[in-house]
Amino acid sequence: MSKIIVVDDSATMRQQVKQALTPAGFDIVEAVDGRDGFNKVQADAAIDIMILDVNMPRMNGIELVEALNKEGRVQKGLKVVMLTTEGHAELIQRAKAAGAKGWMVKPFKPEMLLAAVQKMAV
Amino acid sequence: MTDVTTEPTARPGIFRRMGQAIVLPKTVSAFESSYLERMNRIALAFFYGHLPVFLLISWLNETDPLFTLMLTAAVLVIPTLGCRAFTGHRSKSLVFGFTAMCMGGILVHIGQGPVQIEMHFYFFSVLAMLALFANPMVILVAAVTVALHHLILWYLVPQSVFNYDAPIWVVLVHAGFVVLETFAACFIARNFFDNVIGLEKKVEERTVEIRKRNEDMRLVLDNVQQGLVTVSRDGKMASEHSKVLETWFGAYEAGDTFAGYMGNHDAAFGNWFGLCWDSLTDGFLPLEVALDQLPKTAAFDGRHFEFSYQPICDDAGELEKIMVVVSDVTSEVAQQRAEAMQREILSVFERILKDRSGFTEFFEEAQRLVDASEPAASHLDDVKRFVHTLKGNAALFGVDSVAQLCHEMEERIAEDDERGAAERYEALTGRWQELASTVQRMLGQDTVDSVTLSGDEYQDLLRRVVEEQPHVEIARRLVDLSLEPTDHRLERFAEQARALAERLEKGAIDVCVQANDVRLERERFAPFWSSFTHVLRNAIDHGLETPDDRVENGKPDSGRLELSSYEQDGEVVVELRDDGRGIDWDGVRAKAASLGLPCDTQDDLLAAMFSAGFSTREQATDTSGRGVGLNAVRVACEALGGRIETDSEAGRGTTFRFRFPSDVAKNADALSI
């Protein structure tokens, strides 16, 4: 079973992601900002999916993906899903350039997030 | 009663069907015409070719070549003339049916002797060959000719037909084979006609059918009031589309992508659509997720459109293309907006009837706030505060559309989305102007400047005059009365508090108002009162527990708020007391620390709580949580020379006291008359 890290400064959002994924048996790790996310991903090789917010204090989402890309984690199979609000095309483009393959629009539907993660976990 | 019997459509009888098989349909296609012309020419040459062959046979068989020459030449006259006399190619072919059998007769006649029977094979061969005319009638003519010919000759010159004494049953066997072959040849000729000669006709019919179907389809596409087009995996649009799509978004060329096409109209939408499309085809997200993220609504040039998407997959379940359906929902959106506006106007009207001066004041202040909230014109922190205050006031006075737009604008500001914030601001001013024009009509002339006295106040004033109290005393009292009684304000907040508590599932709360005849200057205190809304909201949203939680903690299930004003030690005090859970000082301390604010003493914590951007809430709601409210009330309070006292006890509740120097509150300047 995949290990998933949720990086978001909003506890509510982390809670929502957890609620959507935990019942399906995923192991969820939480990080409260980009720096925290970076440290946790680097410390745990078992993490293979990262769901992250864009706007975060102490290293935003795009910087985080760029940093992990530089460390080679993305190349080693870390799948990245960006959570963003509708209409922010340039943010998604930057996130994709940094190595995020997928993105989802907030507010997401729990069943949609689960479907996305299940596809990635295969 | 009339007996209605419906005649079953009977299958035609066997003879009728045979007749239909033998007689060809009247129309002659161009292909049949040219084919028969060629066949008739070949047939004529074929029969002319008989002449030398017959002469040779006749000479070899010593059966009078001269007579043979004359007989054959005489028979050849028939097709020669027939070809000239008839114009129809089918009629000419009939003549060859007849000619063929005559030739057979001559051959059998000149082939007398040991080969006479073999010469009869000619009939069978040629009868079969006649099927080439693709016309059963030709074969029938030949069969009838040969039958009559044999009967007549057999009767007149028996040895010319059979070189032995053939009885009648032999003749019948002989004829039986001819009939058999005739059936077969007719069948072949008809099939040849239907499936080879008639092919062109079939194609023509199909073409007409397809054209008609295409025309029907075009008619549908031209008249359907929805934009329909299929988009292939690579994002390119199919050439077939409904006409209204062009009317809305202009024409496109083959090979244009839907994202590009829409992008010509609205770059941001096209861009966004392109990204969504990429995620649909890159296969990273499941199809249903990517489909769900495709944009569903858009507004261009004041028109509203709805987009829906129908995936079309191949047999293997792979996405092949997507049918995009665009609907113009401008009128529906306008209708919904008009209805919402109607409801809002109604609620505004009710408020005005209930509390005219309160509404007038809200309205004037809101106008100022709307003007001041322009993101480009002020400092962002100020804009945040203005928008937040406007949101609270608008919600209090039932102007939900404005409150909603303020909320959206706050969201954009919080996300550093300058463009979005500017757009929301534009929408906000637009909405406000719409509303303002209606409200101004309802309010008519201003009533804010009026002074309202209660009966007791009037009696008191009269008594002072009758008692001949000093003028200064009376003047002081008059100035006093020109101020606004706080009970109006506090009652209004009480009403708001009850409604809000209901909305936030805090149950039916008790709200107690004690105004103590305090009056405050209306104009100067307006900013304070409008920011006071935030304190009230905080008390209900953060302070009061849900009825269940209260019961669990041994409290009465309904929460209690006390709103009061009084004078004390040369100060005017406005107080709000709740019996909720009290301030979560640990939460305040942690948040203050995370924001880098001092958090060692109780005063530090209070200062932090009232600082800009401070909120212990993780998620902003449309009620509270942006950390703007308490800061706004502090700014307003300090602007009046006031200060805030906060008492809070865990589990017992919180009291906020706003203390203002009396002279400020009563406007000492007014007394220098």
Would you state the pLDDT for residue B95?
95
DSSP state of B256: -
Which of residues 521 through 540 in chain B touch A, CB cutoff 8 A? none
Question: What ipTM score was computed for the predicted complex, to two decimals?
Answer: 0.90
pTM, two decimal places: 0.54
Q: Where are the domains of chain B?
A: 14-202, 225-332, 340-443, 451-481, 483-669
Q: What is the 3-state secondary structure (H, E, C) of B315-382?
A: CCCCEEEEEEEEEECHHHHHHHHHHHHHHHHHHHHHHHHHCHHHHHHHHHHHHHHHHHCCCCCCCHHH
Using the Cβ of B423 and the Cβ atoms of chain A, whether some distance falls under 8 Å is answered with no
Taking only residues 22 to 61 of chain A, the set having a beta carbon closer than 8 angstroms to any beta carbon of chain B reads 55
What total number of domains does chain A contain? 1
Those residues with Cβ within 8 angstroms of residue B92's Cβ, 6 or more apart along the chain or in another chain = B36, B40, B79, B82, B83, B86
Contact B172, B118 (CB under 8 A): no
For residue B274, which residues of chain A lie inside 8 Å, CB to CB?
89
pLDDT value of residue B37: 94
B595 touches chain A (CB under 8 A): no
Query: What are B142's two structure tokens?
Result: 């030949």
Which residue carries 């100022």 as its tokens? B368
Are B284 and A120 a contacting pair at CB < 8 A?
yes
The CATH number of the domain covering residues in B340-443: 1.20.120
Q: Do B286 and A55 touch (CB under 8 A)?
A: no
Helix (H) / strand (E) element for B206: namely helix B199-223
> Which residue, among B269, B285, B294, would best test binding to A if mutated, counting the most A CBs under 10 Å from its CB?
B285
Confirm or reject contact between B616 and chain A (CB < 8 A).
Answer: no
**φ, ψ of residue B380 in degrees (nearest 5):** -60, -35
Interface size, chain A vs chain B, as Cβ–Cβ contacts under 8 Å? 48
Asked if B284 has any chain A CB less than 8 Å from its own CB, the reply is yes
Nearest to B275 among A55, A92, A112 (CB): A92
Distance of residue A109 Cα from the nearest chain B Cα, in angstroms: 9
Q: Which of B275, B286, B417 sits opposite A115 (nearest CB)?
A: B286
Say which of A13, A87, A109 has its CB closest to residue B272: A87
Fold of B483-669: Heat Shock Protein 90 (3.30.565)
Interface of A with B in 63-122 (CB under 8 A): 85-89, 92-93, 101-105, 109, 112, 115-116, 118-120
Is the dihedral angle over the CA atoms B626, B631, B635, B636 positive or is it negative?
positive
Contact with chain A for residue B417, Cβ under 8 A: yes
Structural domain including A102 reads 3-121
Q: B505, exposed or middle or buried, with CB in 10 Å at 0-12, 13-18, 19+?
A: exposed
Which residues in chain A show pLDDT less than 70? none
Q: Best of A32, A58, A85 to disrupt the B interface by mutation (most B CBs within 10 Å)? A: A85
pLDDT, tens digit, for every residue of B318-372? Answer: 889 999 999 999 999 989 888 888 888 888 888 888 777 778 878 888 888 888 8
Q: What is the CATH number of the domain that holds A95?
A: 3.40.50.2300
Domain B225-332, what fold? Beta-Lactamase (3.30.450)
Q: Is B165 within 8 Å of chain A by CB?
A: no
B440 interfacial to chain A (CB closer than 8 Å): no
The C-alpha of B243 sits at a distance from chain A's nearest C-alpha, in angstroms, of 28
* Cα–Cα dist B178/B181, whole Å: 5
The pLDDT of residue B666? 62
Q: What pLDDT does B448 receive?
A: 52
Quote the pLDDT of residue B343: 85
In which residue ranges of chain B is pLDDT below 70? Answer: 1-10, 159-166, 444-450, 615-628, 664-673
Would you mind telling me the total number of residues written for chain A in this entry? 122
Indicate the DSSP class of residue B236: B
Cβ atoms < 10 Å from Cβ of A51: 27
What is the predicted pLDDT for the residue at B444? 65
